[in-house]
């Protein structure tokens, strides 16, 4: 079984299964340190198979890899919106384009269910399944808890299980403290009196 960046770097409380998959997908790229888990078409194939999004024998192309990375970063930007950041229009455009390619739609079941599913196959079906998870989480109210760390040097996706749901950092001990120190230093510089004769 492939060891993911997420299991190596951060430990968090349980997350709803679908959102755990989306979080893992976003976290295939770490910025601090800079590590790319999806560094080849073979790595993408393995990741999708490990998360039961595609069969392990389905070949992937460089274009598939590039599209998967674009969707991943657009999902990271969408998750950053849950910490109060403005979601860039180009990220929304990437997700909308993928929604169309994935042929997302509602299917009705005899049991009264109406899940959103991807009608496409291949990479578009796999990425569409991730988008369907996000759409479901938006509707059930769990999506706002999936966030991207507010530290611009981190951006790690995490599930905010705090009571207030106001966490902005993936780790208070690392990113939170680092940003508090930065803010303190900025305040100190602002509060310094001007030199005499200035």
List pLDDT tens digits, range 45-65. 999 999 999 999 999 999 999
In a domain, 121, yes or no: yes
In a domain, 196, yes or no: no
- Both structure tokens of 170: 């993936």
Categorize the per-residue pLDDT at 162 as very low, low, confident or very high, splitting at 50, 70 and 90.
confident
In a domain, 7, yes or no: no
Peptide bond between residue 33 and the one before it cis (omega within 30 degrees of 0)? yes
In a domain, 79, yes or no: yes
Cβ pair 13, 162 in contact under 8 A: no
CATH number at residue 34: 1.10.3300.10
Alpha helices (H) along 53-176 = 62-80, 89-102, 122-140
List pLDDT tens digits, range 12-45. 557 888 999 999 999 999 987 889 999 999 999 9
Q: 57 is in which domain, residue-wise?
A: 15-191
In a domain, 73, yes or no: yes
List pLDDT tens digits, range 107-153. 999 999 999 999 999 999 999 999 999 999 999 999 999 999 999 88
- Both structure tokens of 60: 């992937």
Q: Which of 34, 19, 16 is nearest to 147 (CA)?
A: 19
Res 16: pLDDT: 84
- Tell me the whole-structure pTM to 2 decimals: 0.81
In a domain, 9, yes or no: no
Q: What is the DSSP letter of 68?
A: H
In a domain, 10, yes or no: no
In a domain, 78, yes or no: yes
Query: How many separate domains does the chain show?
Result: 1
Distance CA(186)–CA(182), nearest Å, equals: 6
């Amino acid at each position: 079984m492939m060891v993911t960046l997420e299991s190596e770097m951060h430990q968090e409380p349980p997350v709803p299964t679908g959102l755990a998959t989306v979080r893992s997908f976003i976290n295939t790229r770490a910025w601090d340190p800079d590590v790319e888990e999806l560094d080849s078409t073979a790595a993408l194939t393995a990741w999708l198979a490990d998360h039961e999004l595609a069969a392990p024998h389905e070949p992937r192309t460089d274009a598939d890899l590039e599209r998967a990375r674009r969707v991943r970063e657009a999902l990271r930007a969408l998750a950053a919106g849950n910490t109060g950041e403005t979601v860039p229009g180009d990220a929304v455009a990437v997700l909308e384009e993928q929604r169309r390619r994935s042929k997302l739609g509602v299917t009705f079941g005899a049991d009264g269910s109406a899940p959103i599913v991807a009608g496409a196959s291949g990479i578009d079906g796999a990425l569409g399944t991730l988008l369907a998870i996000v759409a479901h989480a938006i509707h059930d109210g769990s999506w706002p808890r999936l966030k991207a760390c507010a530290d611009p040097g981190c951006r790690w996706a995490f599930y905010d299980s705090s009571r207030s749901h106001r966490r902005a950092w993936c780790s208070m001990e690392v990113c939170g403290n680092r940003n508090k120190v930065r803010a303190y230093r900025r305040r100190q510089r602002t509060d310094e009196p001007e030199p005499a004769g200035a």
